[in-house]
Structure 1
Amino acid sequence: MGAFVAEVALRWSDMDAFGHVNHARTITLLEEARADLLFTEAEKQGLLGMAEGMVVARVVIDYHSPLMYAARSLQVRMSVRDLKAASFVLDYTAFAQEAVCTAETLMVPYDLRAGRPRRLTAEERDFLSEWRAEQLEAHRA
């Protein structure tokens, strides 16, 4: 299917003293895009379990140009790679007028009641496979 695309609105409060969106806010914007895929889109497809426990184990972000508040929104394209039994990686490319950053998060399904990681269900794996990318090296270059 390719990349899932989320549109995330920029808020005035995302801007720092230098007039661009700061690092912590950029991470939050990517989180909002990720929630659109893993929670909203998954729920639309009848999959409710992901919203009950999913944690970020690692996040990496590379900036290519400043994200200015004037852009008003950020388009975030996400794809899944390294889909394993108990983890997966989400790759992001975020655009305003141009690519402003690329990022990845290592996601781990988590059982909140047991207080420990869990395996992905077959349904979760099927859902994530819809957004799988064979190779995303072009956005890393």
Structure 2
Amino acid sequence: MGVFVTGVRPRWSDMDAFGHVNHANTVTLLEEARIDLLFTEAARHGVTDMTNGMVVARLVVDYLTPIVFTGGEIVVEMSVRELRSASFLLDYTVRNQRGDDSVVVTKAETLMVPYNVTAARPRRLDEAERDFLAGWRAGGNGA
């Protein structure tokens, strides 16, 4: 596969005074999509340690066109660009359906760091986590 695709549904309360999804709420939608990959999909593949601690170390968001509340889902495509022993970079492409067209509305990236909550410090990815993430590398074969 190489690209994980999920849908998230903006809420009416996500809109700002200009009638589009507020930037902070866009980041929350990215988080919901990321949880779907790193927690739900990973657990489906038997990889459960990520739920014990994973933090965003850096976030970059490019807003290409406003996300307008329609009541429907937006599509979030994610892939792993860089995979290191104690971090990985997730790329996002967010699409909004407008009629029969799919419009790219946002591109983003997050630098993710596995975190040991008990020790309050970063940790290394374990072998199962690395294997799972490697399957979602752009151009990879999926997990």
If each structure's helix is expressed as a fraction of its own residues, which one has the higher value? 1
Q: Which residue matches 1:128?
A: 133
Q: Does structure 2 retain, via aligned residues, the 8 Å contact 1:71–1:96?
A: no
Q: Which runs of 5+ in 1 are unaligned?
A: 135-141
In 2, Cα distance between the equivalents of 1:2 and 1:48? 20
Q: Does structure 1 retain, via aligned residues, the 8 Å contact 2:11–2:71?
A: no
RMSD, matched Cα: 1.2
Following superposition of structure 1 onto structure 2, how do residues 1-141 of structure 1 map, counting pairs within 5 Å? Answer: 1-70=1-70, 72-97=72-97, 98-134=103-139
Give 1:71 deviation, angstroms.
5.7
So what's the TM-score if we normalise by structure 1? 0.93
- After TM superposition, where is structure 1 displaced by more than 3 Å over at least 4 residues in a row? none
In 1, Cα distance between the equivalents of 2:10 and 2:138? 27
Partner SS state of residue 85, structure 1? coil
Aligned residues: 135
Partner SS state of residue 50, structure 1? helix
2:105 corresponds to which letter in structure 1? V
In 2, Cα distance between the equivalents of 1:56 and 1:106? 6
So what's the TM-score if we normalise by structure 2? 0.92
Identity %: 62
Q: Which runs of 5+ in 2 are unaligned?
A: 98-102
Q: Does structure 2 retain, via aligned residues, the 8 Å contact 1:11–1:72?
A: no
